[in-house]
Amino acid sequence: MTKLAIAFAVAACGGSVPATHYYALPSPPAQVRPGNGPTLAIETLDAARPYDDDRMIYRVDSYRVDFYEYHRWAAPVGALVADYLGGAFARSGRFRAVARGPEAQGALAISGRVVALEEIDATPNVWFGRVAVSLVATDRATGEVVWTEQLDERVAMPTRSPDGLARAVGAALALVAEHAIPKLAALDVGNRAPPTQASAAAP
pLDDT at residue 89 is higher than 50:
yes
How many Cα atoms within 13 Å fall on the side-chain side of residue 76?
A: 11
In a domain, 159, yes or no: yes
Alpha helices in 36-144 (DSSP H): 77-91
Residue 65 confidence class, pLDDT cut points 50, 70, 90 = very high
Contact between residue 183 and residue 94 where contact means Cβ atoms under 8 Å apart: no
- If one compares 193 and 88, the residue with the highest pLDDT of the two is 88
**What pLDDT, on a 0 to 100 scale, did the predictor assign at position 202?**
40
In a domain, 157, yes or no: yes
What's the chain's Rg over C-alpha atoms? 21
Give the sign of the dihedral formed by CA 187, CA 191, CA 194, CA 198: negative
CA distance 67 to 56: 6
The pTM assigned to this predicted structure is 0.82
User: Quick one: average pLDDT of 188-192?
Assistant: 64
- If one compares 108 and 62, the residue with the highest pLDDT of the two is 108
In a domain, 45, yes or no: yes
In a domain, 3, yes or no: no
In a domain, 125, yes or no: yes
**What pLDDT, on a 0 to 100 scale, did the predictor assign at position 63?**
87
Number of domains into which the chain is organized: 1
Q: List, in order, residues 6 or more apart from 148 with CB less than 8 Å away.
A: 134, 135, 136, 137
Domain of 120 in residue numbering reads as: 34-188
In a domain, 14, yes or no: no
In a domain, 146, yes or no: yes
CATH of the domain at 111: 3.40.50.10610
List 153's β-bridge partners, or say none: 131
